[in-house]
Structure 1
Amino acid sequence: MPPRSQNRPGPRGGGQGPRQAPAARGPQQPVNPPGEYEWRVLRLRLFIEVDTAQHITTVGVRRPGYGSSGRPIPVYVNSFTVEIPDSTIYHYDVIANDKVLPSAMNQRLIKALQDNIAPGIFAETRCVFDGRKNLYAPVELNLGGDSREFDVSLPGAPASSDRPPRIYKIRLTRVATINTEILHRFIQGQQSHDNTVSTALMAFNVAIRQSPSERFPTKGRSFFTEEGSKAIGAGLVLWRGYFQSIRPAVGRMLINVDISTGVMYQSGPLISLCLSYLNLPGNNPLALTSRLDNRMRLKLSRFIAGIRVDTRDPRRPNAPGSRPPRVVRKLSQEGASEVTFMMRDGRSMTVARYFEETTGTALRFPTLLCAEVGQGALIPLELCFVLRGQLVRKEIPDEKKADLVAFATKKPKERLESITKGMDILAYGQSEYVRKFGLTVTPQVVSTQARVLNPPTLKYGQGSKAPNVQPRNGSWNMADKKFFRPSKIATWVLIVLDGRVNDNLLADVSRGFVEGCVLSGMTVTNRDPIVKRINGQSKIPPQLQAAGADCFAKYKLPPTLFVVILPEGGNDLYTIVKHWGDVDKGVATQCLKSRNCTRANLQFWANIALKVNVKLGGTNVVTDPTSSTILSDPRTPTIIMGADVMHPGAGTHGRPSYAAVVSSVDSYAAKYVAVHRVQASRQELISDLSEMTKYLLEKYMAYRTAIEEVPANLKAPKRLIFYRDGVSEGQFQQVLDLGSFSLPSMFQAERGVTTNRTSPHQRLTSLLEIMTITDNVLAACEELKINLKITLVVVGKRHHVRLFPQNDRDADRSGNCPAGTVVDRDIGHPTEFDFYLQSHAGLLGTSRPGHYSENNLTADTMQALSFALCHVYAGSTRSVSIPAPVYYADSVCARAKIHFDPEKTVGDFSDSGVTDTSDTLEAFKRDFKALHPNQMGRQYFSLTLLCLEMLSVY
C-alpha cells in the first residue's frame, strides 16, 4: 500500500441524489475543430411564434413546404441510409452500486455481468449499454420478474486474505417495451416524436457504437484510433476518429458519419509527460523537484489531475503493475525524499525510504515530486506510467490550437474519402450488436438536391462609386466604397506597449490608419495622434489616463479613440486595455499586434477601419430591404435578437456562465447593441432575459426615434425574430424533438393553452428554455406596452452534417459548396420545418452548414433572411457562417473576462483545470463590472472574423 500524505482529504461525498425517470442522454461532443477558416453549416429551427395580443403559443412547427429559390445543384451528404427492422426493443434501467461510477467502469461491470455472472440470462443475445443507466436488448431478458439485483465483481480484480474482491450491486429493471413500428411511422410523418421514439433512437445509437467502444477510446458518439496520430508537444497527442449517429430524416433513417479528432495525453512515463507539458528538456527529470516554480507546479498539477496511471515496480519498470490503474489527483509540494508520513508502528518515514524498503530498490530520482492518487496515497513520479488512449477533457493550451486545427483540416474530397473508408472500420455488417438489433446499412453516401441562393444586394454610403454591391462566392471588396453611415474621429491617441516598435514604424502606423479610415468614408479631424510609449510591466491604466490628458491639453477635446499596439502574447495587456476602455472610461479602443503592423498595407488598414467605425457608432454596410421581404415592409418594423451562453472550460468548477443578448436597433438589422449577465454555472436558461429584452427594446425604439426619425407611433417593433445559439448537439436534438409534445400541465392554466397530457419528463429542460424565452420576452413587451409577434429560431452549429458538391463545376475554389447552398429536403426532420444553410465561402478544410428552422414564414422567406443576416457582420467583407446577431452574442460572451478587474483573480476563468475555488456566484456578480454608459449604444464588441472563429470553435 503506497504511503498517504498526512493532510489527505476526508471520504468522498456520498450517494446519488434522487433518481429520475429513465431518459435518453444527449451525446458528449468530440473534439472536432474546423480548419482555421473552416466555417460552419448551420442547422436552424424556428419553433415558436407568439402573438402578444392573444397570448397563444404553438410549440413545434410542421413542415408546410419546401423552398424553391436559387440555382439547383446535386450534393452528397456524409450520411448513409439504414434500414430499421420491424421488431421490439426492451429498455432496462441500470442502477450500479450506491454512487456514480465512471462510464468505462460501468461498461466493464455490465460486460462482467453478461460474460461471467449471469451468462444464461444473456445467452440469446448481447445487450448494449450506454455506460450510464440505460441498457437495451432485442429480446426480453428472463429476470424472473420486472427487476433483479446481481452481485458483480470485476474479473482479475486483486484479492487478499484481508480484502476480498469488491462486490458491486447492479439492479436491472425493465422500464419500457418499444415496437419499432413507431419509427417507421415517425419518418413517414404519421407519428409524433414522443418518448418511445426517443428511446428507440437511443437504443439503435447505442447499438452501433457498442462494438467500437469495446475496441477504441470513445467520447460521446466518437471513437478514436492511433493510426496516423501526431504528437504536438505539451504532453498531447492527436488521434483521428469517427463520429456516428442514427437520426431520422424525411422518409428514411440515416447514419451520419464524420471524421473527428481526439486530443490524448502522451502515454508512457509520467515524468516525460510532465517535462513535455512544461516544455523542459526531456533528459532533465530533476527539473521536477520541489524547487519547481510554485505557479508552474500548480499549473502542472491541474493538467495531470484525472490521468490514470499504472504504478510500476522499480525492479521491473517495463512490466505492467500488478494493481489496477490509479487516478492522479494532484502533485505533492515536496519531493519523495522530503515528504514524510507515519507508519502504523509509529515511525516517521519519507516516501523515498518507504519504497526502497518495500521494493528493495532505491529510487533513481528521490528528489522528484510525487503524484497523489486515491485517498491521499503518494507515488513517486518515476514509478507512474500514463496509460494509452486517455482523452484530454480540459481545454488545450492556446499555443497548441493551431496544431489541432492543422491536423483536423481536410479538404472536402479528402474528408469524403476518409468517411467512406471509415465505413470499413465501422464494419456495421460485422458487428454482433448491429446484427442482433436487425440494422442494415447501405454503404453509399446519400445524394440530394441543394439550391444556391442569390446573395443579398449590399448598400454602401454616399460618395461610393458603386454603392450597390452583389457579393460573389461569399465575398466582396470595399474598393471605392464608403461606409453606409461613417463615424468621426476628432482626436486619437496611439499607445505603444511593445518596446521593439521603432519610430519609423509608428509613423507608418499613424499614416496608414488615417488613410484606411478616410478612404472608407470616415472623418479624421486631427490626423496627428498623441503618441505614448508605455512599459508593459508597469501600471497601464494611469498611463492611459495620462495620455488622454495630454490629448485634451493639446486639442481641448477628450480622445475619441485609443489605438494600442500590443506585443506578441499580450493577452493580459489586451484585457487591461479593454477593461479600462470599455468599463472604466467609456472610450473606444482598437488593439493591434505589432507583428501585423510591420507588414500592414492599405487593405489591412481598411479592415481595421471596419472595426473602428462601428465602435464609434457608425454602420458599415446594410442589405437592401428587397433582399429580405421581412425587412422591407415599413408597416411591420422587425427587430432581430441573438442570444448565447458561454460556460466554463471543461473540468472547471466554481465558475459562472455568461449570458449575452444582442439586438438590432435600425431598420436594416445591421447595427447592434448588447447586454450581458453573470449567471449560475453551466445553466443554459438565460436568467435575466426579461430585463435584458426590455433594455434592448428601449434601445431599438430610442434609435428609431432619434436617428431614423420615424414617427412615435411607428417606433415600436411589430415583429421580433429571436436567434438562440449556444446549445450542444445533444441539447439541440432534444429541442428539435419538442415539436410534437404538448405543454406541461404546469403551464396550462397560466397561459390558457389547450393541450394534451403532460410531456415526457426528459423533455422538460428543453421545453422550459423555450417557455422561458417566450415568457420573458412577453413580460418585457407587456411592460413596454408593445404588441408584436415573436419567432424563436434555434441555431445548430455544432453538428456533423457536411455537404459535398457532386460536380467540380459546382464547387468554389476551396472545393466546398458555394456560399448560399441550402438543403431542406431528404436530410431534415421528418415532420418539422428546418433546413441547412452553408452561408459562407470555404477557404481551408470542409465547410460546415448551419441548421435552421421556420414557423409561419415561408421557407424562402426565412432562408433569405438568415442568409442576408450572414452578410452584415461588421468585421468582414465576407459572408459569415451564422447570422450576425448570433456571432455578436458569441463575441460578447467571449469578452466576459474584461468586465472583471484585471488586478483581481475572482473573474479569471482562463484556467480550465479542476479548481478548489470557493468563490460563489454572488462574488462573481459583485465583481462583474457593468459596461460604461458611453459604450452602451456602440458596437464595442466587434472582433476580427478570424479572432472570433478561434474564440468560438474551442
Structure 2
Amino acid sequence: MAGRGGPRGRGRGAPALRGRGGGPSIGSVPSSGPGIPNQGDHIATVGVKRSAFGSSGRAIEVFTNHYEVSIPQGMIYHYDAISPSEHTLPARLNMELIVKLQERDHPEIFTPRGVYDGRKNMFSVKRFPFENDTRTFDVTLSDPNVQDSPGRAAVGRGPKIYKIKLTKVAEINPEVLSRFLEGSQSHDNTVLTAITALNVVVRMEPTKNYPFNVRSFFTPREQKDIGGGLVLWRGYFQSVRPAIGKMLINIDISTGTMYKEGPLLNICLEFFNRGNDPNILAPARGLPERERLRLQRFISGVRVMTNAANQGQQGRTRTPRVVKKLSSAGANSLSFTMREGGTMTVAQYFARTYNRPLQHPAILCVEVGNGALIPIELCTVVPGQIMRKQVPPEKTKDVLEFATKKPADRLASIRNGLGVSLPRFATILIRQFGLHVKDTGGPLSVNARVLNPPTLKYGQNSKQPTIVPRDGAWNMIDKKFFQPATIKAWVVVVYERQNRFRDENAKDMIAGLLEACAAVGIVVQDKQPLVFWENAQGTIADHLRKAGLACNQKKGVFPNLIVAVLPEQATDIYTAIKHFGDVSTGVATQCLKSQKCTRAKQQYYANVCLKINVKLGGINTIPDARSVSILTDPHNPTIVMGADVIHPAAHSEGRPSFTSLVANVDSDTAKYIADCRVQTSRQEMIDDLEDMATHMIDMYINYRRNVEKKPNPQPKRIIFYRDGVSEGQFRQVLEHELPQIKKACAKMKVDPKITVIVVGKRHHVRFFPKRPDEADRSGNCRAGTVIDRDIVHPLEMDFYLQSHGGLLGTSRPAHYNVLYDDNRLTADGIQQLSFALCHVYARSTRSVSIPAPVYYADIVCSRAKNHYDPGANLDLTETGTADDAHASEQLEVFKNNFKPLHRNMQFLMYFS
C-alpha cells in the first residue's frame, strides 16, 4: 500500500480544494476576545469560529516560510478555458497551447496576457473583446513559418488543430478578499475564486518554464542521481494563502523524482540493476513475465523521442511519443501484416526502412500512443519528466537524504527559492495583477508560544515516579511501568539461519530481554522459554502453532507471548506472524531483527519492553491529572478517538482503502483499543464509523465499570481527532462522519458532548528559531511551540503545534482545525490537550508529532494487510494491480477476504 494516496490534511495553502458555502455556523461562538476581528452572526464558517487566542506558555517569536503580499485593487475577470472537441489533455500540453494562443497567434487580443492554471481556469485584468463574452480559437503547436517545428503531423498531413473555447464566467472584485481577511466576509465562492486567481498568477511563469505538479515546480540546478533510472531534482512549492488581516505567500522547498534523460535502453537496464547486458530485456532469453510487467508499470507514460537513423533530423519524429506499454516479445519475434501484403518482423522493418539492422533485435519494443511498436534501443527519454508513481521502496532512503535539510539550511534555500519562483521576468505579469511580494525584510516573523509539557506518572515502585519531559524527550532510568504486564509463558522462534544466529546469540537475547523486563517491572514467570529454529520457506502458522503446543506440553500452559527473530528483508514472514497472532489466535507477538539482537545494548531491549507491556495489557505511563484537567476531570469522563483512512498507491487499481478507529478505554487516556475495516478504493469518508464508534463506547463503559469500578462509567465527552482530510472535505466530515458518531451514542444510550478536530501534516508551513538559545539540539523550534496568530485562518479556530523534538532535518508542525465543539473548549484547553496526548505514545520515550490516538490509527491502517490470510495469495502491492476491467471484481475479493481482529486482541494494544 502507499502511505497516503488521496488528498490529505493540507494547510490553508490549498484554497482551490476548499468548497466553502454559506451554510450555518457550526460550534459555540462566545464573544470575541482581544485582537479578534469583529465577526457578526451573518459570517458563515465550516469550522468553529475563533473566539480568542491562546495565552499559556512562554511567548517567543519565530521565523516562518511566508512573505506578505499585497492584494490587487482592480477587477479580475475569470474565464473557463476548455477544448470542446478533445479528451482531457495533459496540463503541460494545455499550458503550451494557451501560451501559443496568447503570445504567437493573437497577441493583439491578449495584451496584457492572462494567466492560466493548465486545466480550466484563466484570469485576466482585462475583459477580452469577445462577442457575448465567449470565443473559440483554433490553435496548433506547430509554427506555420517553420517547416520542421514541433507539433507538425506526419508528411502529407497538416498540423494537428486544437480548439480552445474561452468563456467569461465571473468578475472578481478584490474588495471581497479584503473583507474576508478582516473577518467581515464569509469564505464563499467569490473569496475562493479570488485566492485561486492569485495562486495562478504566481505559478504561471514557473509552470510555463519548468516541470511542475499541482503546487511545485522543479529545476535541474540541484539534482542527485539515485540509480534505477531516476534522478532527484530540487523543487519549490508556492501557495498564496489568507491569514488574519493579510495575504501571505508560502514558499518551501520540495523534491521531484524525475526519469533520467537519455537512451531508454540505459534506463531499463538501470531499473533492473543487473549489469549492462541488453539481453536481460529479451523474453526469449529468460526475462520473467512478472519483471516485464514491473518494468512496464515503471516506464508507462514516459515521453520519448525516436531516432531510427541515429543521426540528424531525418529520422526523428517531430514530437515526443508517450510510452503506453511494452511488447510481450522481442523485435525479432513480433510480426505484423504490411499494407501491400505479406508479414514482417519489427526488426526486419527497421532494418529495411532505415537501412540499419538493430543492435539488439531480441529485446522488447515499446508501444506508443498511436499503437506503433518501436524498439527500445531507438528511444530517448525527454528531459524534465516527473515520475508520478510511488517511489520504489529501496530508493526511499535516497529521497529522504536529498529532501532532508537542517532548519538553517532550509530557510536559506527558501530565501533563494523566492528568487526562482518569482523571477524578474515574471515581475511584469505579477505587477499587472497588483500582486507585490514584500520580501525586503526577509521571511515573516510571527508570535509563538512554547507550552509547558505535561508531567508523566510511572509506577509507584519507581525511584522517580514522575518526570517532566525536556525538548520532547525523557528516559526511563529508575522507573517502573505505571501498570506492568505479566508474561506467563513465552516461546522464541528464530527465522535466521542457525550459523548466523547461533544458540549463544539466542541465550544472550533472552538474558537481555529478561533484564530489561525486570528493570521496568514486567513480571516474567517463565525464565527459560523454548527456542525453535525454523525455515522461512515453510508455513509460518504451522511453525508458531507447533511452538505453542510444545510449550503447553512441557509447561502445562500455552504461551501468551511469541518472540520471533527475523532476518533482513522479511516482510512476508512478519505479515504472516502478525496474521497468526492478531487474527487467527489472539496471542501477542513481538518481532525482532537478528542483526539488532546480536550484541544489542540494553537500551534496545528497553524499547522492546515498551511494546511488549502494552501488547499484554499493561500501561507504560499516564499524564498526571493536574497537567491535563480536560482529560482527567472525574465529573466528565472522556473518550479520545483517532480516525484515519489509507489509500492504495496511485495506478494500483482493484486495491481497497482501509479505515481505522482508535480510542482509549481507561480514565487516564493511556490504554487504547482499535478497529480496522476495508472499504471502497480511494474513498476518504469512513463508511463503518457508526459501528466502530459503538464498539469503542461499549468497550469504554465496560472497562470503567468492570476494571476501574467507576460509579459513572458513561462518557460525558468525546474528542474526535480525524487525520488527513483536505480542507475541501471538512464539510463532509461534519455531514457524513459526525452524524455517525452521534448515532453510535444514541445506540449506546449516552449523550456526550462532542468535539471534532482535524489534524493535518500534508502542508508546507515550517517554523525556524530566531535565536540559537530558542532552538533544541537539532536546530529546530522546541517541542511545544504553538502558533495560533499571524498565519492562521482569518475566521476559524485553527493552530499549528510542533509537539516533538527535532531529530533530522526541519520538523513539520501539525495543523489542527476545530470543526465542531459542543464542549466549548478554550484555545488554551485544546492546545494543551493536544500537546499532552502527544506524550502518551507507548512505543517511545519521546513526544510524537500528532496525538497518540491519531498516530495509532495511522499504524492500524498501515497494518491492515495483516488481516489477510498469507495463504490466500492476495497481492496488495502495486505490482499486483488489476487492470481496469477487473478492478471492481478484484476489490470485492479483497473485501470478502478481510478477516476481523481476534476477540482477545480487541482489548489490547496489539498495534504497538
TM-score, normalising length: structure 1: 0.88
The aligned residue for residue 875 of structure 1 is 843
Shift of 1:50: 9.2
The aligned residue for residue 902 of structure 2 is 932
1:447 aligns with 2:445: yes
Question: Are the equivalent residues in 2 in contact too, given 1:92–1:134 (CA < 8 A)?
Answer: yes
2:129 aligned counterpart, secondary structure: coil
Shift of 1:913: 7.0
1:822 aligns with 2:786: yes
The aligned residue for residue 37 of structure 2 is none
The aligned residue for residue 863 of structure 2 is 895
Out of 207, 224, 231, the position equivalent to 2:225 is: 231
Question: Are the equivalent residues in 1 in contact too, given 2:141–2:152 (CA < 8 A)?
Answer: no
Give, in whole Å, the separation in 2 of the partners of 1:929 and 1:421: 52
1:79 aligns with 2:73: no
Give, in whole Å, the separation in 1 of the partners of 2:674 and 2:802: 26
The aligned residue for residue 792 of structure 1 is 756
**For residues 307 and 397 of structure 1, do their structure 2 counterparts lie closer, same or farther at Cα, with a shift above 3 Å needed?**
same
Out of 812, 815, 829, the position equivalent to 1:848 is: 812
1:462-541 equivalence runs, <5 A: 462-499=460-497, 500-541=500-541
Give, in whole Å, the separation in 2 of the partners of 1:569 and 1:319: 50
1:772 aligns with 2:765: no
Out of 229, 234, 243, the position equivalent to 1:240 is: 234
2:132 aligned counterpart, secondary structure: coil
Shift of 1:205: 0.4
Shift of 1:392: 1.2
Give, in whole Å, the separation in 1 of the partners of 2:249 and 2:128: 28
1:696 aligned counterpart, secondary structure: helix
Give, in whole Å, the separation in 2 of the partners of 1:439 and 1:796: 29
Give, in whole Å, the separation in 2 of the partners of 1:429 and 1:186: 30
Counterpart amino acid of residue 132 in structure 1: R
1:198 aligns with 2:183: no
- After alignment, is 419-428 or 631-640 more displaced? 419-428
1:89 aligns with 2:76: yes
2:666 aligned counterpart, secondary structure: coil
The aligned residue for residue 402 of structure 1 is 397
Give, in whole Å, the separation in 2 of the partners of 1:447 and 1:536: 56
The aligned residue for residue 696 of structure 1 is 696
Shift of 1:910: 4.5
Give, in whole Å, the separation in 1 of the partners of 2:314 and 2:466: 72
The aligned residue for residue 259 of structure 1 is 253
The aligned residue for residue 429 of structure 2 is 433
Give, in whole Å, the separation in 1 of the partners of 2:591 and 2:162: 58
2:872 aligned counterpart, secondary structure: coil
1:15-164 equivalence runs, <5 A: 25-26=16-17, 49=27, 59-96=46-83, 97-122=85-110, 124-155=111-142, 156=149, 157-160=151-154, 163-164=157-158
The aligned residue for residue 277 of structure 2 is 284
Shift of 1:638: 0.9
Give, in whole Å, the separation in 2 of the partners of 1:719 and 1:49: 15
The aligned residue for residue 831 of structure 1 is 795
1:377 aligns with 2:372: yes
Question: Are the equivalent residues in 2 in contact too, given 1:50–1:791 (CA < 8 A)?
Answer: no
Give, in whole Å, the separation in 2 of the partners of 1:433 and 1:546: 73
1:247 aligned counterpart, secondary structure: strand
The aligned residue for residue 665 of structure 2 is 665
Shift of 1:914: 7.9
Out of 447, 456, 459, the position equivalent to 2:457 is: 459
Give, in whole Å, the separation in 2 of the partners of 1:464 and 1:708: 22
Question: Are the equivalent residues in 2 in contact too, given 1:452–1:820 (CA < 8 A)?
Answer: yes
The aligned residue for residue 611 of structure 1 is 611
Question: Are the equivalent residues in 1 in contact too, given 2:651–2:878 (CA < 8 A)?
Answer: no
Counterpart amino acid of residue 381 in structure 2: V
Shift of 1:920: 3.7
Shift of 1:428: 5.0
Q: CA-to-partner distance for each residue in 1:715-759, whole Å, 9 max, x for gaps?
A: 1111111101122xxx23x35xxxxxxxxxxxxxxxxxxxxxxxx
**For residues 314 and 900 of structure 1, do their structure 2 counterparts lie closer, same or farther at Cα, with a shift above 3 Å needed?**
farther
1:525-564 equivalence runs, <5 A: 525-564=525-564
- After alignment, is 634-643 or 324-333 more displaced? 324-333
Q: CA-to-partner distance for each residue in 1:392-442, whole Å, 9 max, x for gaps?
A: 111112111111111111111111111111122123554132122111001
Question: Are the equivalent residues in 1 in contact too, given 2:96–2:208 (CA < 8 A)?
Answer: no
Task: Give percent identity, aligned residues only.
Answer: 52
Q: CA-to-partner distance for each residue in 1:519-559, whole Å, 9 max, x for gaps?
A: 11111100111111111112221111111110111111111
Give, in whole Å, the separation in 1 of the partners of 2:539 and 2:615: 25
Counterpart amino acid of residue 103 in structure 1: A
Counterpart amino acid of residue 439 in structure 1: L
- Return 5+ residue gaps in structure 2 as ranges: 1-13, 19-24, 30-43, 143-148
1:884 aligns with 2:877: no
Give, in whole Å, the separation in 2 of the partners of 1:913 and 1:277: 19
The aligned residue for residue 594 of structure 2 is 594
**For residues 703 and 50 of structure 1, do their structure 2 counterparts lie closer, same or farther at Cα, with a shift above 3 Å needed?**
farther
Aligned length: 858
Give, in whole Å, the separation in 2 of the partners of 1:905 and 1:827: 50
The aligned residue for residue 345 of structure 1 is 340
Counterpart amino acid of residue 866 in structure 2: I
The aligned residue for residue 411 of structure 1 is 406
Question: Are the equivalent residues in 2 in contact too, given 1:648–1:912 (CA < 8 A)?
Answer: no
Counterpart amino acid of residue 367 in structure 2: E
1:691-840 equivalence runs, <5 A: 691-711=691-711, 714-727=712-725, 731-732=726-727, 734-735=728-729, 766-840=730-804
Counterpart amino acid of residue 567 in structure 1: P
Q: Report the aligned-residue RMSD.
A: 1.9
Give, in whole Å, the separation in 2 of the partners of 1:508 and 1:94: 70
Give, in whole Å, the separation in 2 of the partners of 1:390 and 1:678: 35
Question: Are the equivalent residues in 2 in contact too, given 1:237–1:265 (CA < 8 A)?
Answer: yes
Give, in whole Å, the separation in 2 of the partners of 1:24 and 1:455: 34
Give, in whole Å, the separation in 1 of the partners of 2:443 and 2:459: 47
**For residues 655 and 845 of structure 1, do their structure 2 counterparts lie closer, same or farther at Cα, with a shift above 3 Å needed?**
same
Question: Are the equivalent residues in 2 in contact too, given 1:458–1:469 (CA < 8 A)?
Answer: yes
Give, in whole Å, the separation in 2 of the partners of 1:257 and 1:812: 24
Counterpart amino acid of residue 193 in structure 1: H
Shift of 1:705: 1.2
Q: CA-to-partner distance for each residue in 1:471-507, whole Å, 9 max, x for gaps?
A: 0111001111111111111011101001021111100
Shift of 1:348: 1.2
Give, in whole Å, the separation in 2 of the partners of 1:554 and 1:318: 81
1:564-579 equivalence runs, <5 A: 564-579=564-579
The aligned residue for residue 748 of structure 1 is none
The aligned residue for residue 30 of structure 1 is none
Question: Are the equivalent residues in 2 in contact too, given 1:622–1:670 (CA < 8 A)?
Answer: yes
Question: Are the equivalent residues in 1 in contact too, given 2:47–2:796 (CA < 8 A)?
Answer: yes
Q: CA-to-partner distance for each residue in 1:140-174, whole Å, 9 max, x for gaps?
A: 11111132222222224223565332222222111
TM-score, normalising length: structure 2: 0.92
- After alignment, is 315-324 or 643-652 more displaced? 315-324
Question: Are the equivalent residues in 2 in contact too, given 1:651–1:912 (CA < 8 A)?
Answer: no
Give, in whole Å, the separation in 2 of the partners of 1:319 and 1:229: 33
Counterpart amino acid of residue 210 in structure 2: F
2:870 aligned counterpart, secondary structure: coil
1:288-367 equivalence runs, <5 A: 288-290=281-283, 291-316=286-311, 321-367=316-362
1:863 aligned counterpart, secondary structure: helix
